Amino acid sequence: MIASSHSADQKVYEIAKLTNEVKELRSAFVDKRGQLMQLKKESFVEAEMKEKGIGISLNPPTKIIVKSQRQEQ
């Protein structure tokens, strides 16, 4: 009875610890994700690239799709 009560107590401590760890990891994830989103933003990339003289193109990229033809018999 006493032993099992103690082991239950231990589990509670363990759970508290793990819950904290989950919170920390989650917070780390959101933190990093936020940073990543800042870095990914076009306005940020534009500002970074300005030094190198690279700007946003005024014309869209052209995509060339090659249609294959069936072999003549």
Partner 1 sequence: MFVFALAVVFKLVSIQFVQGDKYRALADKRTVKDFDIPANRGNVYSADGSLLATSIPKYDIRIDAIQAKDATFEKYINDLADSLHVYKGKPASYYKNVIRRARKNKNRYFLLARNISYSDYIRMRNFPLLNLGAIKGGLIVEQTTRREHPMGGIAERTIGYERQDEDGNFTRPGIDGAFGVKYLQGTNGKRRKQRIGNGQWKPITDFDQVEPKDGYDVYTTIDVNIQDIAHHSLLKQLEIYQADHGCVVVMDVKTGEIKAISNLGRNKKGHYYERLNYAVGESHEPGSTFKVMALMAALEDKVIDTSTVVDTKKGRKRFYGRDITDSGNGFGEISAARALEVSSNIGLATIIDEHYSKQPEKFLTRLQAWGLNKTLGVAIIGEGKPDIPKPGAVNWSRNALPSMAYGYNLRMTPLQTLAFYNAIANDGELIKPRFLKSVKSFDKDIEVFEKEVLVEKICSNQTLNEIQDILKNVVIRGTGQRMYSETFSMAGKTGTARTDYANAEEWRKDRKYVSSFAGYFPADNPKYSCIVVIHKPSTKVGYYGADVTGPVFKRIAQKIYTDTPIIDEIEELDFNTKLVNEDFESYFVNAQKYKTLMPSVVGMPAMDAIALLENLQIDIKVRLTGSGVVKKQSIAKHQKLQTNQTIILEAS
Which residue ranges make up the site for partner 1 (CB under 8 A)? 8-9, 12-13, 16, 23-24, 26-28, 30-34, 37-38, 41-43, 56-69, 71-73
Kindly state the smallest distance separating residue 10's Cβ from partner 1, in Å: 10
Kindly state the smallest distance separating residue 49's Cβ from partner 1, in Å: 15
Determine contact, residues 55/49, Cβ cutoff 8 Å. Answer: yes
**Residue with smaller CB distance to partner 1, 27 or 54:** 27
Task: Give the up-direction half-sphere exposure of residue 48: CA atoms within 13 A in the CB hemisphere.
Answer: 8
Q: How far apart are CA 49 and CA 59, in angstroms?
A: 18
